[in-house]
Amino acid sequence: MNRMIFKLILTFLAAASLSAMAAPASKLILGSALHDDLQKRYPTAKIELSDSNLGGLTFQSPIRRVQLIKEVGQGSAEFLIEDPSGVQQVTQVRFSANLLTYVAQRKIRPMEKLRSEDFMLQTIDVAQGLAHEYRAMMLSPTVELAKFEARQTILQGQYPLSSGVQRIPDVKRGDAVRVTLISGEIELTTSGIAQEPAYYDSAIRVSTQKTKKELMGKLLPNGTVEVRL
């Protein structure tokens, strides 16, 4: 009898031990599934989960389905979790989505060229606040700032947005350009003035210096405007 009771106690303890070991493993699997789902929503950010809401969940591993129900930019998301038996539970998970972007160290005025020394790279949590609304327009740290200028004022401490900067034109309005007029096999080169800013391989409106006639052409990478008549 005593031996039988002893075996029952051992069996109970072994089952309890396995359950305790499975719980952290299942929790880890769930956390990974939640992380992967949020990463799809914030593909360029580093996702960090707060697991304080996961401890009260009871589920079997593996997880059959994890579905984001809503996420409104307050650093939390509501998920539907379904285990293999079909049991569904809803939980709220707090998280951060850290994105590396540029932040101005001084006031930048409109039409001012951007310089790397006027900005610093800083990690911003884009899971909440205004950063959440503008996350898609934040400049990537791989952007070459020297190729851009401000379209509007950027205050000190602000992060520049793609809507507030523009690439510096290869040719600006008023710049002198060489114009090549092409008609069939005949080519004629003359001087002209750019009537608008333009980029290489794009259309540009110019006027010839002598006749002041306006023409539409294509700005070539060598700085020549090609006009086909």
Between 3-7, 133-137, 192-196, 213-217, the lowest mean confidence (pLDDT) is in 3-7
Instruction: Give the tokens for residue 192.
Output: 């002209």
pLDDT in tens, 26-71: 555 677 888 888 999 999 999 998 765 555 555 555 677 888 888 8
pLDDT in tens, 89-145: 888 889 999 999 999 999 999 999 999 999 999 999 999 999 999 999 999 999 999
Residue 185 scores a pLDDT above 60 = yes
pLDDT at position 56, please? 55
Q: For residue 1, count CB atoms less than 10 angstroms from its CB and return exposed for 0-12, middle for 13-18, buried for 19 or more.
A: exposed
As a whole number of angstroms, the distance between CA 187 and CA 193 comes to 19
Domains of the chain (ranges, CATH numbers): 2-96 (no CATH), 102-167 (no CATH), 176-228 (2.30.30.760)
CA nearest neighbour of 41 among 89, 95, 117: 95
**SS3 per residue for 151-190:** CCCECCCCCCEHHHEEECCCECCCCEEEEEEEECCEEEEE
Q: Whole-prediction pTM value? A: 0.69
